[in-house]
Chains A and B, each alone.
Chain A
Amino acid sequence: MTEFIQFFQSADVTLSDKLLEVAYIVMGLIAVYAGIRNAQDETNPKRMGTALFWVVCGMLFIVGRWVPSTVAGAMVVIMVIPAICKQVGRGTGDEPTQEEMEGNYEKIGMKLFVPALSLGVMALIFALFTNISSLVGLTFGVVVGGLMLFAFSHKNTPKVFLNDTRRMLDAVGPLSMLPILLAALGSIFTAAGVGDVISHIVSGVIPQGNLVVGIIVYAIGMAVFTMVMGNAYGAITVLTVGIGAPFVLSLGADPALIGSVALTCGFCGTLMTPMAANFNILPVAILEMKDSYGVIKKQIPIALFMLAAQIVYMIVMTAL
């Protein structure tokens, strides 16, 4: 506890970090709330597993910084157990009805777009004009947008916001933790020296110190790995450690450009693979199409064109 107070009183910690920590605590409280509500929800057939998942997740946000990292690691393991055992589910009955949404729209109208844009606008304003994290800006945007919604309709009480947040968390479920868990996997790879092994192997195949070849291999590798895995987030964790860092970034290329565009090269792979079923196969079912690959076929030319365009973009920007 003293450590906690010292952190917020310390002059060495930036205002941005203090505010961000507050945002994490709020996020943690929201997750804990979602967990407790699920524990009480009799319409959720897996309420205990669901509650365990969200409560531990929330606690990681609240106390994660203050407990020893081995304890935090153990909490991560406890959190994922109900998810792996398929014991995280959701209840029913909290969805807004069609009538409710249409009625609210009739009442509020097009000005609903203003609070919708507040998230992105505030994140951008904080990023451009302050030294405070854009994520704090985004949090500020949530508050601003929420106040506007309340001004538009007094039905939008804090309780409505909380319960809608819980509904959204239930809808995304444990898979929402995929990016953060993949990042953790990436750090385990790095700690175990996996990147060194890959770069050792790749250096036998592609010439050392050739930035152009490095960019091409990294970009195409991202698309191909994503096609096989069906997931660009998984691919970038592996390939950045193995190819991106040793063959492109170590030669002085701009890490923001290369890292960001490598991800969208992976997205080109997502557009071309039936492995990404929720994007490419599920729509076929929803739209009652005859050809299972009817969506992918319409995306392949665009994906190939964009992959080539992005490789050229990275090479040109790096050469300049």
Chain B
Amino acid sequence: MDPAELLKLLGIVIVVVGFALKLDSILIIMVAAIATAVVGGMDPVAFLDTLGTSFVSNRSMCIFIMTFVLTGTLERNGLRQAAAALIRKLKNATSGIIISAYGVVRVLFAAFNINFGGVAGFIRPVIMPMAQAAVERDGKKIGDGHLEELKGMSSGMDNVAWFFGQVLFVGGSGGLLVQGTLAGLGYDVSLLDLAMVQVPVAVVAMLAAIVYYNVIDRRLTKRRARVIKATGSASYEEGSAETGAEGAGTAAPADAEKGGEAK
């Protein structure tokens, strides 16, 4: 292959290296665009022409400006408080069920383009206290390792539900980017079709996360019961049972992974 042709890949190298080095995203894109135009032999007029045409024809990708008109004021009117009240109805559930319920609510709302929380806005103030309280219902403090596992699972559930849920929204940014990219290559697809093919994917993703996290949760609970029994039922505290609790933290997920993968 002609080496001059390979030079056209410079823009891709810039994008990959730039993102990997955590440089400013917009800077990376502009430098990659200009570099590609230069090595590809585009003159400045053709460059601006392509840039402008693409931006204007992809304005749909910025539909979020329109959705913000509603979502900002929804937040002000207490949408997050309403979602918290909904999940708090689960009074006697295990921590695994609480995390799963959060995932289900999160994915359903993501499908309607409503981002009601996330880790800072929802998991820390609402889900973690509930999950911890569910473990401590027996009157003994939760082990450090156990708590760490619950934190990891809550965040994991948040990401899985949000990622696979937002593509279900007709007009979400992911679907719009795919539509725009395919249109540039000569394939016309509808936003509805892009969302519909994701329905089975989202269902499977949520089932996988719910099963996997509940398997881990059950193991953690059993381990905890064993540690409490071994160290004397009344004196289960962080210091004295540290090794046991940490053991639960490392051994349980390794076993549970097999359960999750074997499905």
Residues of A within 8 A of B (CB): 20, 23-24, 26-27, 30-31, 60-61, 64-65, 68-77, 80, 83-84, 86, 96, 100-106, 108-110, 112-113, 115-121, 123-124, 127-128, 134-135, 138-139, 141-142, 145-146, 149, 152-153, 156, 160-162, 164-165, 167-169, 172, 174-195, 197-198, 200-201, 225, 228-234, 236-238, 240-242, 245, 249, 255-257, 259-264, 267, 270-271, 275, 277, 279-280, 282-284, 286-287, 289-291, 294-295, 297-299, 301-302, 304-306, 309-310, 313, 317
4 closest Cβ pairs, A-B complex: A192-B40, A105-B78, A164-B72, A72-B52
> Could you say which of A121, A184, A256, A277 contacts B193, with CB atoms under 8 Å apart?
A256
* A–B pairs, 24, beta carbons within 8 Å: A30-B69, A64-B59, A70-B45, A70-B48, A72-B51, A76-B55, A101-B80, A104-B77, A109-B82, A116-B74, A149-B74, A161-B69, A161-B70, A168-B68, A184-B55, A187-B54, A188-B51, A192-B41, A259-B189, A264-B201, A287-B154, A289-B148, A302-B160, A309-B201
Known: A180-B58, A255-B189. A145 touches B40 (CB 8 A): no
Cα distance A31–B69 in the bound complex, in angstroms: 11
**Which of chain B's residues has its CB closest to A71's CB?**
B52
The residue in chain B whose Cβ has the minimal distance to the Cβ of A109 is B82
Whether the Cβ atoms of A267 and B200 lie closer than 8 Å is: no
Tell which of A108, A256, A289 has the most Cβ of chain B within 10 Å. Answer: A256
Considering the chains assembled together, what is the distance between the CA atoms of A320 and B6 in angstroms?
38
Q: Which residues of B contact A225 (CB under 8 A)?
A: 16
CB distance from B218 to the nearest CB of A (A): 15
Smallest distance from the beta carbon of B46 to chain A beta carbons, Å? 7
Asked if residues A191 and B46 are in contact (CB atoms below 8 Å), the reply is yes
B177 within 8 A of A: yes
Q: Contact at A183–B208, with CB atoms within 8 Å?
A: no
- Name B53-79 residues within 8 Å CB distance of A: 53-56, 58-79
Chain B residues with CB under 8 A of A69: 48-49, 52-53, 56
Most chain B CB within a 10 A radius of its CB, from A165, A175, A280, A313: A165
Interface on B for A, CB 8 Å cutoff?
1, 5-6, 8-9, 11-12, 15-16, 19-20, 22, 24-27, 29-30, 32-33, 36-37, 39-42, 45-56, 58-82, 85-86, 109, 111-114, 119-120, 123-124, 128, 144, 148-149, 151-156, 158-160, 163-164, 167, 169-171, 173-182, 184-185, 187, 189-195, 197-198, 200-201, 204-205, 208-209, 212-213, 253, 257, 260-261, 263
Bound form: Cα–Cα A174–B5 in Å: 33
Q: Which of B120, B160, B198, B204 contacts A299 (CB 8 A)?
A: B160
Residues of B with C-beta under 8 A to A189: 11-12, 36
Contact B30 A80 (CB under 8 A): yes
Closest residue of chain B to A200 (Cβ to Cβ) is: B1
| Pairwise interchain contact A119-B112, C-beta atoms closer than 8 A | yes
Not counting A117-B112, A228-B16, A283-B158, a sample of 14 additional A-B residue pairs whose C-beta atoms are within 8 angstroms of each other reads A60-B59, A64-B55, A83-B24, A108-B82, A175-B25, A181-B29, A194-B11, A257-B197, A260-B175, A279-B159, A287-B151, A298-B156, A313-B200, A317-B197
- CB–CB B167/A105 < 8 A: no
User: Which partner residue on chain A sits nearest B128 by CB separation?
Assistant: A287
User: Interface residues of B: mostly helix, strand, loop or mixed?
Assistant: helix
Residue of B nearest to A31 (CB): B65
Contact A101 B81 (CB under 8 A): yes
Instruction: Compute how far the CA of A177 lies from the CA of B177 in the bound complex, rounded to whole angstroms.
Output: 11
Q: How many A-B residue pairs have CB under 8 A?
A: 458
Judge whether A188 and B171 touch: CB under 8 Å.
no
Query: Which of A178, A198, A287 has its CB near the most chain B CB atoms (within 10 A)?
Result: A287
User: Are A121's CB and B112's CB within 8 A?
Assistant: yes
What B residues does A283 contact at CB under 8 A? 119, 123, 151, 155, 158
The contact of B253 among A72, A200, A277, A297, by CB within 8 Å, is: A297
Given contacts A73-B49, A183-B54, A197-B6, contact A123 B171 (CB under 8 A): yes
Please determine whether A146 and B69 come into contact, CB atoms closer than 8 angstroms.
yes
CB-defined contacts of B257 to chain A, threshold 8 Å = 301
Q: How far is the CB of A7 from chain B (nearest CB, A)?
A: 13
Complex Cα–Cα for A74 and B55 (A): 11
* Docked pose: A286 CA to B117 CA in angstroms: 13
Cα of A172 to Cα of B115 in the assembled complex, Å: 13
Known: A23-B66, A24-B59, A185-B15. A194 touches B40 (CB 8 A): yes
